[in-house]
Amino acid sequence: MTGTIGKDTGAQSHAAEFETFAGEGGELHQIAGSDGTVLTTQQGVPVADDQNSLKLGERGPTLLEDFHFREKIFHFDHERIPERVVHARGFGVHGTFTLDESLAEYTTAKVLTEVGEQTPMFVRFSTVAGNKGSFDLARDVRGFAAKFYTKEGNWDIVANNIPVFFIQDAIKFPDVVHAAKQEPDRGFPQAQTAHDNFWDFIGLTPESMHMIMWIMSDRAIPRSFRFMEGFGVHSFRLIDAEGKGTYVKFHFKPKLGLQSVMWNEALKINGSDPDFHRRDLWDAITMGTPPEWDLGVQLFDDDFADQFEFDVLDSTKIIPEEQIPVRRIGSFVLDRVVDNFFAETEQVAFCTQNVVPGIGFTNDPLLQGRNFSYLDTQLKRLGSPNFTHIPINAPKVPVQNFQQDGHMAMRNPKGRVNYEPNSWGGPRENPEIGYRHFAAQDTGRKAQVRSATFADHYSQARQFFVSQTPIEQKHIGDALVFELSKCERIDIRQRIVAHLRNIDETLATVVADGLGLPALPEPFPAAVPTRTDLPPSEALSIVKRGPQSFEGRKLGILVTDGASASVVKALVKAVEALPAVYEIISPKIAGATLDDGTLVEAKQKIDGGPSVLYDAVALVVSDEGAAMLSEDKTAKDFVSDAFGHGKFIAYTAEALPLLERAGVAASDHDAGVIALKSTSEAQTFLETCGQLRVWDRELKIDLDAA
């Protein structure tokens, strides 16, 4: 039963609710306070005083006899569990997957064959390197782990937002993670790879070069979890009723399209709102605009695997979508926030080994290692093999086996029998419906080896680079220069440039130049020469496949007293029609009184709402307002950052002096700085914002600066 304390203040309940567990077979006593209004100890004893501990005399010593005090402190002392060794900072939400197209030809998995079936899900997004308390916009891979509570048990796709990985063999995982995280003697830097240890390891590990291109790209600084792709990375296997296998790679494609921020923006967002990504998702869901993704598959057979240029078991390689198109088979919506962060987001335990009948593994050495690691790490983190009893991890189908006991066992088999086979009855294995491993034919010599088919470390890195637009290529170069400039050892910087020479000579030169290296180092000795004939793939660029819509994005409207009410209303109407969202920013948090006398409430005071928090901005101010803001550093930063970050800016005529004072003179105005001469232009402005950024401006500003 549940009880409630406090007032419900709207859609999101703020009251405390408690579940009362009656012991096994026990009756729940109806006593005063069992409606949740009386504080109790963990033993259910009502508490008389929660403000003062038991003392001998008013100013005397606290007595050990005070069991409520001792229990409360003891419990508090044990609140923390070990944070995840990687992906510590995460944010989880619930959702539902709906299958639109059956894969019955390839698999028996009901979740992939029963069209229309709705499967509950839990997804946890994360950064990898930072600790739990780090910031959201680190340059990093994002975890995108999905748990499907299917009718045949739990199926986890523990995905990332990048389709390749740093290493080819799981035995190197502790090394890459140690190198990326804080250096062990000093305990910093936090949540970043811009330090010697990371780049030292990378320079000595050529197989990481493809991944390096991805993490130096804007993929590693996403605008929101809502605008990210997800990739299962490895080749998995679908298995049909006859036991025949088909290779599969899993993809999540966001319906709102892809979007990232700029590095300079990321640096500022981390200061303004370290919770930028989690707040974004929380807001989108609680405001009733839940994000959706398509679930897609790349399916291929042994013939394709045999003739493909690279090894399909090598997780440092993709299969370009042009070669094997991503087939969209269903979609999932993430539409429910958690009730409790710890119970769900923190305690959720993803395991790559969680597969259901009809889905299997391949020999990818990374996947094989992961299948051990995830189960093992949950034991350390959650403290007991019974972590599957925690509601967020429990499947939504009956669990029937004779595994028993252990710390915190919530569920033990009832009755006399706890072994199998037995003469008493109970669950037995069932070859008809039970999980069957793919009957792979493997032979070989036992050896610690790396297959020669894994040897090409540069060709796909190059393919990724040449698939980018010039501005995206520029961002990769800038990111490399930034990161390597934080390395103290010049040989570490040089070694990375030596690798870049095997990827793209111009990139190597730009980076060497940005670092001020006296000369280009010799190319790093490559096991096989880089292929220059791999065609560019459009799917690898964020900008080439932009959404062309402002839907789901956020407009910041800067207003002052006396600003045009009709323009504000027109903007709000255009935003809501998309739908997108807006926030009012004004000099005072109480808001501003517009020219028709209406008070518009502000969501942010100007210094709490810098333009980096918005996808586009509108300056709707009065003459007096513009004059006042022109003297305000944060208001000028608001404007100059929006301009510098390539954002679309709408303005009413009164805002011209503010633009000018912020360094955006009339002669700088480009197609993205748009005058709102009449209310009808609000709609056009929002349509233009669908391009998301004025990329040419960035090239121009950099040229101007040069």
Site of interaction with ligand HDE (CB under 6 A): 84-87, 90, 124, 126, 143, 145, 158-160, 165, 170, 173, 233, 315, 348, 350, 366, 369-370, 373-374, 377
Given the residues 68, 94, 160, 475, select the one marked as catalytic.
160
**C-beta neighbour count of 581 within 10 angstroms:** 19
We find the least distance from the C-beta atom of residue 96 to ligand HDE, in angstroms, to be 19
In the complex with ligand HDE, the residue whose CB is nearer, 250 or 643, is 250
State the chain's maximal CA–CA distance in angstroms: 90
Name the token pair of 245.
């296998």
CA 75/CA 64 separation, integer angstroms = 16
Q: Is 495 annotated as a binding residue?
A: no
Contacts of 284 (CB under 8 A, 6+ apart): 226, 290, 291, 552
Angle at which helices 470-485 and 263-272 cross, to 10°: 60
CA 181/CA 130 separation, integer angstroms = 7
Q: For strand 554-559 and strand 581-586, is the pairing parallel, antiparallel, or unpaired?
A: parallel
Q: DSSP string of 496-530?
A: HHHHHTTT-HHHHHHHHHHHT-SSPPPPPPPSSPP
Residues facing residue 673 across a β-bridge: 649
We find the least distance from the C-beta atom of residue 177 to ligand HDE, in angstroms, to be 8
In the complex with ligand HDE, the residue whose CB is nearer, 75 or 380, is 380
We find the least distance from the C-beta atom of residue 132 to ligand HDE, in angstroms, to be 12
We find the least distance from the C-beta atom of residue 91 to ligand HDE, in angstroms, to be 9
CA distances from 584 to 10, 87, 482, 556, 635 (A): 22, 34, 34, 6, 14
We find the least distance from the C-beta atom of residue 147 to ligand HDE, in angstroms, to be 9
CA dihedral 320, 212, 144, 611 (to 10 degrees): -110
The distance from CA 314 to its chain's CA centroid, rounded to whole angstroms, is 24
Active site residue 160: yes
We find the least distance from the C-beta atom of residue 23 to ligand HDE, in angstroms, to be 32
Q: Is 436 annotated as a binding residue?
A: no
In the complex with ligand HDE, the residue whose CB is nearer, 85 or 455, is 85
In the complex with ligand HDE, the residue whose CB is nearer, 310 or 582, is 310
In the complex with ligand HDE, the residue whose CB is nearer, 156 or 273, is 156
Residues, the chain, total? 706
In the complex with ligand HDE, the residue whose CB is nearer, 126 or 494, is 126
Q: Is 374 annotated as a binding residue?
A: yes
In the complex with ligand HDE, the residue whose CB is nearer, 250 or 648, is 250
Separate counts of helices (H) and strands (E) for the chain? 18, 20
In the complex with ligand HDE, the residue whose CB is nearer, 345 or 459, is 345
Closest residue to ligand HDE using C-beta atoms: 143
Given the residues 68, 87, 475, 645, select the one marked as catalytic.
87
CA 68/CA 53 separation, integer angstroms = 8
CA 706/CA 477 separation, integer angstroms = 16
CA distances from 38 to 15, 48, 73, 340 (A): 14, 9, 19, 21
In the complex with ligand HDE, the residue whose CB is nearer, 141 or 694, is 141
We find the least distance from the C-beta atom of residue 123 to ligand HDE, in angstroms, to be 9
In the complex with ligand HDE, the residue whose CB is nearer, 233 or 578, is 233
In the complex with ligand HDE, the residue whose CB is nearer, 364 or 478, is 364
Q: Is 381 annotated as a binding residue?
A: yes
Active site residue 437: no
Q: Is 247 annotated as a binding residue?
A: no
CB of 352 within 8 A of CB of 370?
Answer: yes
We find the least distance from the C-beta atom of residue 377 to ligand HDE, in angstroms, to be 4
CA 396/CA 392 separation, integer angstroms = 10
We find the least distance from the C-beta atom of residue 350 to ligand HDE, in angstroms, to be 4
We find the least distance from the C-beta atom of residue 45 to ligand HDE, in angstroms, to be 37
Tell me the three state secondary structure of residue 319: coil
CA 336/CA 286 separation, integer angstroms = 8
Q: DSSP string of 249-310?
A: EEEEEETT---B--HHHHHHHHHH-TTHHHHHHHHHHHTT---EEEEEEEEE-HHHHHHSSS
SS3 content of the chain, % helix, strand, coil (to 5): 30, 15, 50
* Cβ burial 662-691 (10 Å sphere, 16+ → b, else e): bebeeeebeebbbebeebebbeebbebbbb
Name the token pair of 85.
């060794």
Q: Is 545 annotated as a binding residue?
A: no
Name the token pair of 89.
């900072």
Q: For strand 648-651 and strand 599-600, is the pairing parallel, antiparallel, or unpaired?
A: unpaired
Tell me the three state secondary structure of residue 426: coil
We find the least distance from the C-beta atom of residue 15 to ligand HDE, in angstroms, to be 29
CB of 257 within 8 A of CB of 547?
Answer: yes
Contacts of 5 (CB under 8 A, 6+ apart): 15, 16, 36, 37
Binding site residues, as ranges?
A: 84, 124, 173, 370, 374, 381
Active-site residue numbers? Answer: 87, 160
Binding site residues for heme, as ranges?
A: 84, 124, 173, 370, 374, 381
